[in-house]
A and B are shown apart, each in its own frame.
Chain A
Amino acid sequence: MNSYLIGVIISMIVYLVVGNLAGKKVEDLDDYYVSGRNASTVLIVGTLVASFLSTGVFMGDTGECYAGYFIPIVIVGIMQACGYVFGSMFFGRFIRRSEVRTVPEYFGKRFNSRKVQVLCGITTVVAVTGYLLSVTQGTTLLMAELTGLDYGICLVIAWLSYSIFTMYSGSKGVIITDTIMFFVFLSAALVAVPYIINAAGGWFPAIRDLAVFDLKPGIISYHGMLGSKFETPTESVVWAISYGLVWAMVVASSPWQTSRYLMAKDEHTVIRSSVIACLCIIAINTSLYFAASMINLVNPSITPVDKNFIWAGMNLVPKWVGVVLLTGIMAAGLSSASTFLSLIGFSLTNDILQFDEDVSDKKMLKYSRILMLICSLIALVVSYFQPPAVFFFMYFAGTVLASSWGMIAFMSVWSKKITKTGAFWGILLGFLGNFIPKVITEVKGIKLPIFLDPFYIGIALSLIGVIVGSKRTEVTMEEKAYRDKLHMVPEAELDKEKMDRTYKYYKILVGAGIVVMVVLIGCYAIPYGKAVAGIK
Protein backbone atom coordinates (compact mmCIF):
# COMPACT_ATOMS: atom_id res chain seq x y z
CA MET A 1 0.00 0.00 0.00
CA ASN A 2 1.58 3.35 -1.01
CA SER A 3 1.86 6.37 1.33
CA TYR A 4 -0.68 8.41 -0.66
CA LEU A 5 -3.30 5.69 -0.30
CA ILE A 6 -2.64 5.51 3.47
CA GLY A 7 -2.99 9.33 3.74
CA VAL A 8 -6.21 9.30 1.75
CA ILE A 9 -7.72 6.43 3.79
CA ILE A 10 -6.78 8.00 7.16
CA SER A 11 -8.24 11.37 6.18
CA MET A 12 -11.44 9.77 4.94
CA ILE A 13 -11.87 7.78 8.14
CA VAL A 14 -11.46 11.05 10.11
CA TYR A 15 -14.15 12.79 8.01
CA LEU A 16 -16.50 9.82 8.37
CA VAL A 17 -16.06 9.53 12.15
CA VAL A 18 -16.30 13.28 12.84
CA GLY A 19 -19.27 13.72 10.48
CA ASN A 20 -21.15 10.83 12.06
CA LEU A 21 -20.38 11.99 15.60
CA ALA A 22 -21.83 15.39 14.66
CA GLY A 23 -24.87 13.58 13.25
CA LYS A 24 -25.65 12.20 16.72
CA LYS A 25 -26.28 15.78 17.86
CA VAL A 26 -28.97 16.39 15.24
CA GLU A 27 -32.20 16.77 17.18
CA ASP A 28 -34.45 18.75 14.87
CA LEU A 29 -34.74 20.12 11.33
CA ASP A 30 -32.89 23.34 12.18
CA ASP A 31 -29.90 21.28 13.34
CA TYR A 32 -30.00 19.28 10.11
CA TYR A 33 -30.53 22.17 7.68
CA VAL A 34 -28.72 25.10 9.33
CA SER A 35 -26.65 23.51 12.10
CA GLY A 36 -28.88 25.04 14.78
CA ARG A 37 -27.94 28.58 13.59
CA ASN A 38 -25.17 28.88 16.14
CA ALA A 39 -21.96 28.52 14.13
CA SER A 40 -18.94 30.63 15.03
CA THR A 41 -16.81 32.74 12.67
CA VAL A 42 -14.17 29.97 12.33
CA LEU A 43 -16.78 27.41 11.26
CA ILE A 44 -18.43 29.78 8.77
CA VAL A 45 -15.04 30.72 7.26
CA GLY A 46 -14.16 27.00 7.09
CA THR A 47 -17.34 26.03 5.28
CA LEU A 48 -17.30 29.10 2.97
CA VAL A 49 -13.76 28.48 1.77
CA ALA A 50 -14.05 24.68 1.70
CA SER A 51 -17.26 24.82 -0.33
CA PHE A 52 -15.74 27.24 -2.79
CA LEU A 53 -12.29 25.74 -3.29
CA SER A 54 -12.43 22.37 -4.95
CA THR A 55 -10.35 20.31 -7.35
CA GLY A 56 -11.26 23.09 -9.84
CA VAL A 57 -8.87 25.50 -8.11
CA PHE A 58 -6.17 23.01 -7.12
CA MET A 59 -6.12 21.40 -10.58
CA GLY A 60 -8.02 23.60 -13.07
CA ASP A 61 -6.83 27.09 -12.10
CA THR A 62 -3.30 26.00 -11.27
CA GLY A 63 -3.29 24.22 -14.64
CA GLU A 64 -4.11 27.51 -16.38
CA CYS A 65 -1.30 29.27 -14.48
CA TYR A 66 1.09 26.49 -15.41
CA ALA A 67 -0.05 26.67 -19.04
CA GLY A 68 0.86 30.37 -19.29
CA TYR A 69 -2.01 32.50 -17.97
CA PHE A 70 -0.79 33.34 -14.50
CA ILE A 71 -1.79 37.00 -14.06
CA PRO A 72 -5.25 36.69 -15.71
CA ILE A 73 -6.05 33.89 -13.23
CA VAL A 74 -4.65 35.93 -10.30
CA ILE A 75 -6.90 38.86 -11.33
CA VAL A 76 -9.97 36.58 -11.35
CA GLY A 77 -8.91 35.06 -8.01
CA ILE A 78 -8.52 38.38 -6.16
CA MET A 79 -11.61 39.98 -7.69
CA GLN A 80 -13.81 37.00 -6.82
CA ALA A 81 -12.49 37.03 -3.25
CA CYS A 82 -13.67 40.64 -2.81
CA GLY A 83 -17.15 39.38 -3.75
CA TYR A 84 -17.41 37.88 -0.24
CA VAL A 85 -17.37 41.30 1.42
CA PHE A 86 -19.83 42.93 -0.99
CA GLY A 87 -22.03 39.82 -0.89
CA SER A 88 -22.28 39.73 2.90
CA MET A 89 -23.00 43.46 3.19
CA PHE A 90 -25.69 43.60 0.52
CA PHE A 91 -27.25 40.12 0.72
CA GLY A 92 -25.67 37.61 3.12
CA ARG A 93 -26.59 39.31 6.40
CA PHE A 94 -30.17 39.79 5.23
CA ILE A 95 -30.60 36.15 4.33
CA ARG A 96 -29.35 35.27 7.84
CA ARG A 97 -31.90 37.76 9.20
CA SER A 98 -34.73 36.03 7.33
CA GLU A 99 -34.14 32.84 9.40
CA VAL A 100 -35.03 30.48 6.57
CA ARG A 101 -33.63 27.00 6.07
CA THR A 102 -32.64 27.29 2.40
CA VAL A 103 -31.93 30.12 -0.05
CA PRO A 104 -34.91 29.19 -2.31
CA GLU A 105 -37.13 29.36 0.79
CA TYR A 106 -35.91 32.95 1.29
CA PHE A 107 -37.02 33.89 -2.23
CA GLY A 108 -40.34 32.11 -1.71
CA LYS A 109 -41.03 34.04 1.50
CA ARG A 110 -39.70 37.36 0.23
CA PHE A 111 -42.03 37.26 -2.76
CA ASN A 112 -44.79 35.37 -0.97
CA SER A 113 -44.76 32.86 -3.81
CA ARG A 114 -44.51 29.09 -3.76
CA LYS A 115 -43.88 29.23 -7.53
CA VAL A 116 -40.72 31.32 -7.04
CA GLN A 117 -39.49 28.96 -4.30
CA VAL A 118 -40.03 25.87 -6.48
CA LEU A 119 -38.29 27.50 -9.45
CA CYS A 120 -35.29 28.46 -7.30
CA GLY A 121 -35.26 24.94 -5.87
CA ILE A 122 -35.25 23.37 -9.36
CA THR A 123 -32.48 25.67 -10.65
CA THR A 124 -30.45 24.83 -7.53
CA VAL A 125 -30.86 21.09 -8.02
CA VAL A 126 -29.97 21.24 -11.74
CA ALA A 127 -26.91 23.49 -11.39
CA VAL A 128 -25.56 22.05 -8.14
CA THR A 129 -25.96 18.48 -9.46
CA GLY A 130 -23.62 19.51 -12.30
CA TYR A 131 -21.13 20.81 -9.77
CA LEU A 132 -21.49 17.66 -7.62
CA LEU A 133 -20.73 15.45 -10.63
CA SER A 134 -17.71 17.61 -11.42
CA VAL A 135 -16.15 17.36 -7.96
CA THR A 136 -17.05 13.68 -7.57
CA GLN A 137 -15.36 12.79 -10.85
CA GLY A 138 -12.42 15.14 -10.14
CA THR A 139 -11.81 13.62 -6.72
CA THR A 140 -12.18 10.08 -8.10
CA LEU A 141 -9.71 10.70 -10.94
CA LEU A 142 -7.23 12.15 -8.46
CA MET A 143 -7.62 9.17 -6.13
CA ALA A 144 -7.20 6.72 -9.03
CA GLU A 145 -4.03 8.56 -10.09
CA LEU A 146 -2.57 8.48 -6.58
CA THR A 147 -3.46 4.97 -5.57
CA GLY A 148 -3.40 3.11 -8.86
CA LEU A 149 -6.79 1.62 -8.00
CA ASP A 150 -9.60 1.15 -10.53
CA TYR A 151 -11.82 4.23 -11.30
CA GLY A 152 -14.97 2.39 -10.11
CA ILE A 153 -13.42 1.43 -6.74
CA CYS A 154 -12.12 4.98 -6.20
CA LEU A 155 -15.55 6.37 -7.10
CA VAL A 156 -17.22 4.22 -4.44
CA ILE A 157 -14.59 5.22 -1.83
CA ALA A 158 -14.97 8.94 -2.64
CA TRP A 159 -18.76 8.66 -2.67
CA LEU A 160 -18.84 6.82 0.67
CA SER A 161 -16.53 9.36 2.29
CA TYR A 162 -18.79 12.33 1.66
CA SER A 163 -22.30 10.95 1.20
CA ILE A 164 -22.71 8.87 4.38
CA PHE A 165 -22.00 11.62 6.90
CA THR A 166 -23.75 14.30 4.78
CA MET A 167 -26.90 12.21 4.64
CA TYR A 168 -26.80 11.35 8.34
CA SER A 169 -25.65 14.62 9.89
CA GLY A 170 -26.74 17.29 7.35
CA SER A 171 -25.26 20.74 7.93
CA LYS A 172 -24.25 19.84 11.48
CA GLY A 173 -21.62 17.43 10.15
CA VAL A 174 -20.85 19.26 6.90
CA ILE A 175 -19.85 22.48 8.68
CA ILE A 176 -17.39 20.64 10.95
CA THR A 177 -15.88 18.38 8.28
CA ASP A 178 -15.65 21.39 5.92
CA THR A 179 -13.66 23.25 8.55
CA ILE A 180 -11.34 20.27 9.14
CA MET A 181 -10.86 19.91 5.37
CA PHE A 182 -10.25 23.68 5.12
CA PHE A 183 -7.41 23.38 7.62
CA VAL A 184 -6.07 20.30 5.80
CA PHE A 185 -5.78 22.05 2.43
CA LEU A 186 -4.65 25.31 4.03
CA SER A 187 -1.79 23.40 5.69
CA ALA A 188 -1.14 21.60 2.40
CA ALA A 189 -0.74 24.93 0.59
CA LEU A 190 1.34 26.49 3.40
CA VAL A 191 3.69 23.52 3.61
CA ALA A 192 4.02 22.56 -0.06
CA VAL A 193 4.33 25.97 -1.74
CA PRO A 194 7.70 26.90 -0.13
CA TYR A 195 9.15 23.53 -1.19
CA ILE A 196 7.97 24.08 -4.77
CA ILE A 197 9.43 27.61 -4.84
CA ASN A 198 12.69 26.24 -3.47
CA ALA A 199 12.77 23.50 -6.11
CA ALA A 200 12.33 26.22 -8.77
CA GLY A 201 15.49 27.95 -7.52
CA GLY A 202 14.07 30.32 -4.87
CA TRP A 203 11.62 33.23 -5.19
CA PHE A 204 13.60 35.95 -6.97
CA PRO A 205 15.61 33.66 -9.29
CA ALA A 206 12.33 31.93 -10.25
CA ILE A 207 10.61 35.24 -11.06
CA ARG A 208 13.67 36.30 -13.09
CA ASP A 209 13.75 33.00 -15.02
CA LEU A 210 10.01 33.00 -15.70
CA ALA A 211 10.16 36.61 -16.93
CA VAL A 212 12.41 35.50 -19.78
CA PHE A 213 11.05 31.94 -20.13
CA ASP A 214 11.35 31.03 -23.81
CA LEU A 215 9.18 27.91 -23.76
CA LYS A 216 6.10 29.83 -22.60
CA PRO A 217 6.88 33.46 -23.47
CA GLY A 218 5.02 36.00 -21.38
CA ILE A 219 3.88 33.37 -18.83
CA ILE A 220 4.09 35.83 -15.91
CA SER A 221 3.64 39.07 -17.89
CA TYR A 222 0.49 41.06 -17.11
CA HIS A 223 -1.32 39.49 -20.09
CA GLY A 224 0.01 35.94 -19.97
CA MET A 225 0.95 33.99 -23.09
CA LEU A 226 -0.48 35.33 -26.33
CA GLY A 227 -1.41 33.48 -29.49
CA SER A 228 -3.75 30.71 -28.38
CA LYS A 229 -6.22 31.62 -25.65
CA PHE A 230 -5.76 35.38 -26.09
CA GLU A 231 -4.60 37.19 -29.21
CA THR A 232 -3.82 40.59 -27.66
CA PRO A 233 -2.95 41.97 -24.18
CA THR A 234 -6.23 43.94 -24.15
CA GLU A 235 -8.24 40.79 -24.82
CA SER A 236 -6.49 39.04 -21.95
CA VAL A 237 -7.02 41.88 -19.43
CA VAL A 238 -10.66 42.38 -20.47
CA TRP A 239 -11.29 38.63 -20.09
CA ALA A 240 -9.69 38.59 -16.64
CA ILE A 241 -11.58 41.61 -15.31
CA SER A 242 -14.93 40.52 -16.74
CA TYR A 243 -14.49 36.97 -15.35
CA GLY A 244 -13.41 38.47 -12.04
CA LEU A 245 -16.72 40.34 -11.92
CA VAL A 246 -18.67 37.21 -12.90
CA TRP A 247 -17.05 35.12 -10.17
CA ALA A 248 -17.40 37.90 -7.61
CA MET A 249 -21.13 37.68 -8.34
CA VAL A 250 -20.99 33.87 -7.96
CA VAL A 251 -19.31 34.23 -4.56
CA ALA A 252 -21.77 36.94 -3.47
CA SER A 253 -25.01 35.24 -4.48
CA SER A 254 -24.63 31.51 -5.27
CA PRO A 255 -26.45 29.12 -2.92
CA TRP A 256 -23.34 27.08 -2.08
CA GLN A 257 -21.86 30.24 -0.60
CA THR A 258 -24.77 32.29 0.74
CA SER A 259 -26.44 29.24 2.33
CA ARG A 260 -23.42 29.05 4.66
CA TYR A 261 -24.51 32.33 6.26
CA LEU A 262 -27.79 30.71 7.36
CA MET A 263 -25.77 28.73 9.91
CA ALA A 264 -24.06 31.78 11.48
CA LYS A 265 -24.93 32.56 15.09
CA ASP A 266 -25.58 36.23 14.22
CA GLU A 267 -25.08 38.85 11.52
CA HIS A 268 -21.78 39.99 13.02
CA THR A 269 -20.50 36.46 12.37
CA VAL A 270 -21.67 36.71 8.75
CA ILE A 271 -19.80 39.99 8.20
CA ARG A 272 -16.61 38.92 9.98
CA SER A 273 -16.45 35.54 8.26
CA SER A 274 -16.86 37.18 4.84
CA VAL A 275 -13.77 39.34 5.51
CA ILE A 276 -11.68 36.39 6.68
CA ALA A 277 -12.88 34.17 3.82
CA CYS A 278 -11.92 36.93 1.36
CA LEU A 279 -8.39 37.08 2.76
CA CYS A 280 -8.03 33.27 2.93
CA ILE A 281 -9.02 32.91 -0.73
CA ILE A 282 -6.57 35.66 -1.76
CA ALA A 283 -3.72 34.08 0.22
CA ILE A 284 -4.37 30.45 -0.78
CA ASN A 285 -5.10 31.11 -4.46
CA THR A 286 -2.28 33.56 -5.08
CA SER A 287 0.35 31.36 -3.45
CA LEU A 288 -0.88 28.28 -5.35
CA TYR A 289 -0.89 30.22 -8.64
CA PHE A 290 2.67 31.50 -8.14
CA ALA A 291 3.85 27.97 -7.28
CA ALA A 292 2.04 26.45 -10.28
CA SER A 293 3.77 28.79 -12.73
CA MET A 294 7.14 28.08 -11.07
CA ILE A 295 6.73 24.30 -11.60
CA ASN A 296 7.55 25.11 -15.24
CA LEU A 297 11.16 25.78 -14.29
CA VAL A 298 11.56 22.16 -13.19
CA ASN A 299 9.28 20.45 -15.69
CA PRO A 300 7.60 22.53 -18.42
CA SER A 301 5.94 19.59 -20.20
CA ILE A 302 3.43 18.08 -17.76
CA THR A 303 0.34 16.88 -19.63
CA PRO A 304 -2.52 17.36 -19.05
CA VAL A 305 -1.65 20.69 -17.43
CA ASP A 306 -4.18 20.24 -14.61
CA LYS A 307 -1.97 17.49 -13.17
CA ASN A 308 0.88 19.94 -12.50
CA PHE A 309 0.29 20.07 -8.73
CA ILE A 310 -0.10 16.29 -8.52
CA TRP A 311 3.23 15.93 -10.31
CA ALA A 312 4.79 18.47 -7.93
CA GLY A 313 3.35 16.62 -4.93
CA MET A 314 4.97 13.40 -6.11
CA ASN A 315 8.28 14.78 -7.37
CA LEU A 316 9.25 18.16 -5.91
CA VAL A 317 8.51 17.84 -2.21
CA PRO A 318 9.45 15.36 0.53
CA LYS A 319 7.16 12.34 0.67
CA TRP A 320 5.28 13.46 3.79
CA VAL A 321 4.65 16.91 2.27
CA GLY A 322 3.39 15.23 -0.91
CA VAL A 323 0.97 13.13 1.15
CA VAL A 324 -0.28 16.30 2.93
CA LEU A 325 -0.61 18.16 -0.39
CA LEU A 326 -2.47 15.42 -2.22
CA THR A 327 -4.69 14.69 0.79
CA GLY A 328 -5.39 18.45 0.86
CA ILE A 329 -6.45 18.46 -2.79
CA MET A 330 -8.73 15.50 -2.08
CA ALA A 331 -10.15 17.34 0.93
CA ALA A 332 -10.92 20.37 -1.25
CA GLY A 333 -12.95 18.14 -3.59
CA LEU A 334 -14.73 16.20 -0.85
CA SER A 335 -15.70 19.29 1.13
CA SER A 336 -17.35 20.84 -1.91
CA ALA A 337 -19.10 17.53 -2.71
CA SER A 338 -20.61 17.29 0.80
CA THR A 339 -21.94 20.86 0.59
CA PHE A 340 -23.39 20.29 -2.88
CA LEU A 341 -25.07 17.03 -1.87
CA SER A 342 -26.63 18.66 1.18
CA LEU A 343 -27.91 21.59 -0.92
CA ILE A 344 -29.53 19.24 -3.43
CA GLY A 345 -31.18 17.18 -0.69
CA PHE A 346 -32.40 20.25 1.22
CA SER A 347 -33.82 21.89 -1.90
CA LEU A 348 -35.69 18.76 -2.90
CA THR A 349 -37.24 18.27 0.53
CA ASN A 350 -37.76 21.86 1.61
CA ASP A 351 -38.40 23.70 -1.65
CA ILE A 352 -39.59 21.44 -4.46
CA LEU A 353 -41.65 18.69 -2.84
CA GLN A 354 -44.55 19.73 -0.70
CA PHE A 355 -45.23 17.77 2.47
CA ASP A 356 -48.26 18.15 4.71
CA GLU A 357 -47.79 20.91 7.23
CA ASP A 358 -48.59 18.57 10.11
CA VAL A 359 -45.68 16.22 9.30
CA SER A 360 -43.48 16.04 12.39
CA ASP A 361 -39.83 17.21 12.40
CA LYS A 362 -38.77 13.61 12.98
CA LYS A 363 -40.55 12.41 9.87
CA MET A 364 -39.26 15.33 7.80
CA LEU A 365 -35.76 14.48 8.96
CA LYS A 366 -36.31 10.90 7.82
CA TYR A 367 -37.65 12.06 4.41
CA SER A 368 -34.69 14.45 4.03
CA ARG A 369 -32.20 11.66 4.65
CA ILE A 370 -33.96 9.25 2.28
CA LEU A 371 -34.09 11.88 -0.48
CA MET A 372 -30.44 12.75 0.03
CA LEU A 373 -29.55 9.05 -0.21
CA ILE A 374 -31.47 8.78 -3.50
CA CYS A 375 -29.73 11.91 -4.87
CA SER A 376 -26.31 10.65 -3.88
CA LEU A 377 -26.99 7.24 -5.45
CA ILE A 378 -28.02 8.96 -8.70
CA ALA A 379 -24.80 11.03 -8.58
CA LEU A 380 -22.82 7.80 -8.02
CA VAL A 381 -24.41 6.02 -10.98
CA VAL A 382 -24.08 9.03 -13.34
CA SER A 383 -20.46 9.60 -12.28
CA TYR A 384 -19.70 5.96 -13.08
CA PHE A 385 -21.37 5.71 -16.47
CA GLN A 386 -20.81 9.28 -17.73
CA PRO A 387 -17.22 9.65 -19.03
CA PRO A 388 -15.33 12.06 -16.76
CA ALA A 389 -16.06 15.66 -17.78
CA VAL A 390 -14.82 17.53 -14.72
CA PHE A 391 -14.34 20.93 -16.25
CA PHE A 392 -17.40 20.79 -18.52
CA PHE A 393 -19.68 20.28 -15.51
CA MET A 394 -17.87 22.99 -13.57
CA TYR A 395 -18.04 25.42 -16.50
CA PHE A 396 -21.73 24.62 -16.88
CA ALA A 397 -22.65 24.93 -13.23
CA GLY A 398 -20.31 27.64 -11.99
CA THR A 399 -22.03 30.76 -13.19
CA VAL A 400 -25.53 29.62 -14.11
CA LEU A 401 -27.10 30.44 -10.74
CA ALA A 402 -25.31 33.80 -10.50
CA SER A 403 -26.86 34.96 -13.76
CA SER A 404 -30.20 33.44 -12.77
CA TRP A 405 -30.49 34.75 -9.18
CA GLY A 406 -27.66 37.27 -8.82
CA MET A 407 -29.58 40.45 -9.63
CA ILE A 408 -32.75 39.21 -7.93
CA ALA A 409 -30.85 38.43 -4.72
CA PHE A 410 -29.65 42.04 -4.34
CA MET A 411 -32.91 43.55 -5.62
CA SER A 412 -34.94 41.43 -3.19
CA VAL A 413 -33.26 43.40 -0.40
CA TRP A 414 -32.80 46.82 -1.95
CA SER A 415 -35.55 47.34 -4.54
CA LYS A 416 -39.02 48.49 -3.55
CA LYS A 417 -40.35 47.83 -7.04
CA ILE A 418 -39.49 44.19 -7.72
CA THR A 419 -42.52 41.89 -7.68
CA LYS A 420 -43.00 38.12 -7.59
CA THR A 421 -43.74 38.09 -11.34
CA GLY A 422 -40.54 40.06 -12.03
CA ALA A 423 -38.55 37.73 -9.77
CA PHE A 424 -40.02 34.60 -11.40
CA TRP A 425 -39.28 35.70 -14.97
CA GLY A 426 -35.90 37.11 -13.97
CA ILE A 427 -34.84 33.78 -12.45
CA LEU A 428 -36.22 31.70 -15.33
CA LEU A 429 -34.81 33.83 -18.16
CA GLY A 430 -31.47 34.26 -16.39
CA PHE A 431 -31.17 30.49 -16.02
CA LEU A 432 -32.19 29.65 -19.59
CA GLY A 433 -30.18 32.57 -21.01
CA ASN A 434 -27.03 31.12 -19.49
CA PHE A 435 -27.81 27.38 -19.77
CA ILE A 436 -28.93 27.18 -23.43
CA PRO A 437 -26.04 29.21 -24.99
CA LYS A 438 -23.60 27.24 -22.82
CA VAL A 439 -24.88 23.88 -24.10
CA ILE A 440 -24.97 25.12 -27.73
CA THR A 441 -21.46 26.61 -27.67
CA GLU A 442 -20.06 23.53 -25.96
CA VAL A 443 -21.74 21.03 -28.31
CA LYS A 444 -20.99 22.99 -31.50
CA GLY A 445 -17.53 24.13 -30.34
CA ILE A 446 -18.37 27.82 -30.94
CA LYS A 447 -16.17 30.52 -29.34
CA LEU A 448 -18.20 33.59 -28.42
CA PRO A 449 -16.71 37.05 -27.87
CA ILE A 450 -16.29 37.98 -24.19
CA PHE A 451 -19.26 40.35 -24.12
CA LEU A 452 -21.49 37.50 -25.39
CA ASP A 453 -20.42 35.06 -22.67
CA PRO A 454 -23.48 33.02 -21.59
CA PHE A 455 -23.24 34.66 -18.15
CA TYR A 456 -23.85 38.10 -19.65
CA ILE A 457 -26.64 36.82 -21.92
CA GLY A 458 -28.26 35.26 -18.84
CA ILE A 459 -27.91 38.32 -16.66
CA ALA A 460 -29.21 40.66 -19.41
CA LEU A 461 -32.27 38.44 -19.94
CA SER A 462 -32.73 38.18 -16.17
CA LEU A 463 -32.79 41.99 -15.89
CA ILE A 464 -35.28 42.26 -18.75
CA GLY A 465 -37.47 39.65 -17.04
CA VAL A 466 -37.33 41.51 -13.72
CA ILE A 467 -38.02 44.94 -15.22
CA VAL A 468 -40.85 43.88 -17.57
CA GLY A 469 -42.40 41.49 -15.03
CA SER A 470 -42.29 44.07 -12.23
CA LYS A 471 -43.66 46.86 -14.43
CA ARG A 472 -46.70 44.80 -15.35
CA THR A 473 -47.59 43.92 -11.76
CA GLU A 474 -47.91 45.67 -8.40
CA VAL A 475 -45.94 44.99 -5.22
CA THR A 476 -48.34 43.22 -2.84
CA MET A 477 -48.83 44.08 0.82
CA GLU A 478 -47.16 40.79 1.83
CA GLU A 479 -44.08 41.49 -0.31
CA LYS A 480 -43.76 45.01 1.10
CA ALA A 481 -44.20 43.78 4.66
CA TYR A 482 -41.52 41.10 4.24
CA ARG A 483 -39.05 43.59 2.75
CA ASP A 484 -39.74 46.05 5.58
CA LYS A 485 -39.13 43.26 8.08
CA LEU A 486 -35.81 42.48 6.40
CA HIS A 487 -34.68 46.01 7.14
CA MET A 488 -35.58 45.83 10.83
CA VAL A 489 -32.42 45.23 12.86
CA PRO A 490 -32.81 42.20 15.18
CA GLU A 491 -32.32 42.95 18.86
CA ALA A 492 -29.43 40.44 19.08
CA GLU A 493 -27.34 42.59 16.72
CA LEU A 494 -27.60 45.67 18.97
CA ASP A 495 -24.58 44.86 21.05
CA LYS A 496 -21.94 47.57 21.41
CA GLU A 497 -19.13 45.11 22.10
CA LYS A 498 -19.93 43.02 19.02
CA MET A 499 -20.24 46.16 16.91
CA ASP A 500 -16.83 47.41 18.03
CA ARG A 501 -15.24 44.06 17.17
CA THR A 502 -16.87 43.87 13.75
CA TYR A 503 -15.87 47.46 12.99
CA LYS A 504 -12.20 46.59 13.53
CA TYR A 505 -12.31 44.13 10.63
CA TYR A 506 -11.98 47.02 8.20
CA LYS A 507 -8.41 47.48 9.47
CA ILE A 508 -7.61 43.86 8.54
CA LEU A 509 -8.94 44.42 5.01
CA VAL A 510 -7.11 47.73 4.53
CA GLY A 511 -3.91 46.18 5.91
CA ALA A 512 -4.32 43.24 3.52
CA GLY A 513 -4.77 45.67 0.61
CA ILE A 514 -1.46 47.34 1.46
CA VAL A 515 0.28 43.96 1.85
CA VAL A 516 -1.08 42.70 -1.52
CA MET A 517 0.11 45.87 -3.26
CA VAL A 518 3.56 45.93 -1.63
CA VAL A 519 4.16 42.20 -2.15
CA LEU A 520 3.05 42.24 -5.79
CA ILE A 521 5.12 45.34 -6.59
CA GLY A 522 8.22 44.34 -4.62
CA CYS A 523 8.25 40.60 -5.22
CA TYR A 524 6.72 40.43 -8.69
CA ALA A 525 6.52 43.64 -10.78
CA ILE A 526 9.97 45.10 -9.96
CA PRO A 527 12.00 41.83 -10.26
CA TYR A 528 10.04 41.03 -13.43
CA GLY A 529 10.85 44.47 -14.89
CA LYS A 530 14.55 44.13 -14.01
CA ALA A 531 14.77 40.68 -15.63
CA VAL A 532 13.07 41.85 -18.84
CA ALA A 533 15.20 45.05 -18.97
CA GLY A 534 18.34 42.93 -18.46
CA ILE A 535 17.62 40.79 -21.50
CA LYS A 536 16.92 43.85 -23.67
Chain B
Amino acid sequence: MTGELAISIYLGGLVLFTGFFFKKMITKEFKHYEEIMEKEGPNN
Protein backbone atom coordinates (compact mmCIF):
# COMPACT_ATOMS: atom_id res chain seq x y z
CA MET B 1 0.00 0.00 0.00
CA THR B 2 2.96 2.35 0.59
CA GLY B 3 3.50 2.98 -3.13
CA GLU B 4 -0.21 3.59 -3.76
CA LEU B 5 -0.38 5.95 -0.78
CA ALA B 6 2.73 7.80 -1.93
CA ILE B 7 1.33 8.24 -5.45
CA SER B 8 -2.01 9.48 -4.04
CA ILE B 9 -0.22 12.03 -1.87
CA TYR B 10 2.06 13.03 -4.76
CA LEU B 11 -0.82 13.64 -7.17
CA GLY B 12 -2.98 15.51 -4.65
CA GLY B 13 0.10 17.41 -3.51
CA LEU B 14 0.92 18.36 -7.09
CA VAL B 15 -2.50 19.96 -7.58
CA LEU B 16 -2.17 21.65 -4.15
CA PHE B 17 1.28 22.94 -5.08
CA THR B 18 -0.12 24.26 -8.38
CA GLY B 19 -2.80 26.08 -6.39
CA PHE B 20 -0.35 27.70 -3.98
CA PHE B 21 2.04 28.53 -6.81
CA PHE B 22 -0.86 30.15 -8.66
CA LYS B 23 -1.68 32.18 -5.54
CA LYS B 24 1.91 33.34 -5.18
CA MET B 25 2.20 34.35 -8.84
CA ILE B 26 -1.15 36.09 -8.95
CA THR B 27 -0.49 37.98 -5.70
CA LYS B 28 2.83 39.26 -7.03
CA GLU B 29 1.32 40.15 -10.40
CA PHE B 30 -1.73 41.92 -8.98
CA LYS B 31 0.44 43.86 -6.55
CA HIS B 32 2.21 45.21 -9.60
CA TYR B 33 -1.18 46.01 -11.21
CA GLU B 34 -2.23 47.90 -8.07
CA GLU B 35 0.97 49.93 -8.12
CA ILE B 36 0.21 50.92 -11.71
CA MET B 37 -3.37 51.79 -10.78
CA GLU B 38 -2.18 53.96 -7.89
CA LYS B 39 0.24 55.73 -10.19
CA GLU B 40 -2.04 56.18 -13.19
CA GLY B 41 -5.51 55.88 -11.69
CA PRO B 42 -7.70 52.74 -11.93
CA ASN B 43 -9.61 51.80 -15.00
CA ASN B 44 -12.77 51.27 -12.97
Contact = CB atoms under 8 A, between A and B. Distances in A.
Interface of A: 71, 74-75, 78-79, 82, 85-86, 89, 221-223, 233, 237, 271, 275, 278, 282, 489, 491-497, 499, 502-503, 505-518, 520-521, 524-526, 528-529, 532-533
B24 to A, nearest CB: 9
A494 B14 contact: no
Given A489-B33, A496-B42, A514-B12, A509 B22 contact: yes
Given A499-B33, A524-B4, A89 B22 contact: yes
Contact of A520 (B12, B19, B34, B40): B12
A509 B15 CA distance: 7
A67 B20 CA distance: 35
Contacts of A506: 19-20, 22-23, 26
A265 to B, nearest CB: 15
On chain B, which size bracket covers the interface?
A: 35 or more
Contact of A521 (B9, B14, B21, B27): B9
Instruction: Name which of B1, B13, B32 has the most chain A CB atoms within 10 A of its CB.
Output: B1
Contacts of B15: 78, 82, 282, 509, 512-513, 516-517
Interface in B3-41: 3-23, 25-27, 30, 32-34, 36-37, 40
A494 B4 contact: no
A74 B14 CA distance: 13
A502 B25 CA distance: 12
A329 B35 CA distance: 48
Given A495-B44, A526-B1, A75 B23 contact: no
B1 A78 contact: no
6 contacts: A78-B11, A86-B21, A506-B22, A520-B7, A521-B9, A528-B1
Instruction: Name which of A74, A499, A508, A509 has the most chain B CB atoms within 10 A of its CB.
Output: A509
Contacts of A221: 3-4
A510 B16 contact: yes
Contacts of A237: 7
B13 A517 contact: yes
A532 B5 CA distance: 13
Nearest to B22: A506
B14 to A, nearest CB: 6
A26 B7 CA distance: 48
Given A221-B3, A494-B33, A513 B12 contact: yes
B1 A85 contact: no
B11 to A, nearest CB: 5
A496 B4 contact: no
Contacts of A509: 15-16, 18-19, 22
Contact of B8 (A85, A494, A524): A524
Contacts of A529: 1, 4-5
A503 B12 contact: no
B25 to A, nearest CB: 5
A513 B34 CA distance: 29
B33 A510 contact: no
A252 B26 CA distance: 17
Given A499-B30, A528-B1, A494 B43 contact: yes
B16 A513 contact: yes
Contacts of B5: 521, 525-526, 529
Contacts of B34: 499
Nearest to B5: A525
A496 B18 contact: no
Contacts of A494: 33, 36-37, 40, 42-43
Given A517-B8, A526-B1, 5 more contacts: A502-B26, A506-B26, A514-B16, A520-B8, A526-B5
A489 B26 CA distance: 14
A81 to B, nearest CB: 8
Contacts of B32: 489
B22 A71 contact: no
Contact of A513 (B18, B26, B40, B44): B18
A527 to B, nearest CB: 10
A211 to B, nearest CB: 9
Given A275-B22, A496-B37, A525-B8, A532 B1 contact: yes
A516 B43 contact: no
A180 B33 CA distance: 35
